Structure 1
Amino acid sequence: MTVQPLPVVTWVATGWDDPRVVRLRHLMDAEVGPRYARPDGGPRYHPPGPSASEVAVTWLALGGDEPAATASLRRLAVDGEPVRWEVKRVFVDPAHRRRGLAAEALRRVEQSARDLGVSRLVLQTGNLQPEAVALYERAGWEPVPVYPPYDAVVHSRCYGRDL
């Protein structure tokens, strides 16, 4: 049996609504969503996701022509709260894992934020996503208090990082 090598990965800056990015977000929802399912089967609360106008850049890794990984930089404005710059939706397609793509996606979002003059980033994940927690902590992110709009989300865990 011969093993086919994985295709070379190329990175492109794109938008939140890019269909390849949307596809990866759907894969993420299908993988992570069941971890947070309510025992009674009822709907769980989660704040609305970013709009395309809130997202400064979305990085997309392509393995050949296939979407492999993504992460976005969002300008988060919540009524009565200071504006925050936030990392959103870091995800790697299972077929492309164990290649450092999540860490690279995070680095690219951080550099995009620096290029915009942003001095601090935040992000929200869940405590039922140990892979994400490990990634952020390895990359030097530190726990911060849960911030709006995630303060009403059960299992929220937030991180911050000075750039």
Structure 2
Amino acid sequence: MFIEERTADDLALIRLLDAAFAELVARYGLEGRSGVGPGAHYLVAVVDDETVGCVAVQTTDVAGTGEVKRMYVAPAARGQGIARALLKEIESRATDLGYDRLRLVTGHLQPAAIALYESAGYRRTEPYGTYADRPGTFCYAKSLAG
């Protein structure tokens, strides 16, 4: 497996994002969809020449804080440590971009994601932004400093 950066118009990335959106809508309905802002940095995981996972980091309205978005691994590739590798690499990329803190959002119907984030050092925070009034939404943050 290797991880590399891709642009938002990359076809393999777009297919993964479409699959991620479909999974979120199946779990949460249309309110499960949220976008990624302009200027986001995308990473993909490639196994045997197949793009199997993605993640992005985007800027926020809080200085020094980036937001993890679109963490997704194709179902056939799950359970192989790909999500953990993507998360570690996006944290490294976020540090390179000048962020000293990351935040993210997941939902109550994603126990594997919750377990991953908590085991990687993310801690629950108060809901923020458009997520503040959404029941079943869990917000997390992690310091990247030191």
Matching of residue 73 in structure 1 with residue 54 in structure 2: no
Q: Distance in 1 between matches of 2:27 and 2:32?
A: 14
Select which of 44, 49, 64 maps to 2:48: 64
Q: Helix, strand or coil for the counterpart of 1:161? A: strand
CA-to-partner distance for each residue in 1:127-163, whole Å, 9 max, x for gaps? 1111110000011100000110222333211000000
Equivalent in the alignment of 2:142: 161
Residue 23 of structure 1 aligns with which residue? 15
Say yes or no: does 1:49 pair with 2:35: yes
Where in structure 2 are the equivalents of 1:12-161 lying within 5 Å?
12-37=4-29, 44-45=30-31, 48-51=34-37, 53-55=38-40, 57-77=41-61, 82-83=62-63, 84-161=65-142
SS of aligned partner of 2:129: coil
- Which structure 2 segments of 5+ residues have no match? none
State the distance in 1 between where 2:7 and 2:142 align: 24
Larger radius of gyration: 1
Identity %: 34
Describe the superposition over 1:46-103 as per-residue Cα deviations: whole angstroms up to 9, x where unpaired.
Answer: 574123x230x211011223211111111123xxxx3541000111111111110000
Aligned-residue CA RMSD in angstroms?
1.7
Aligned length: 143
TM-score (norm 2): 0.88
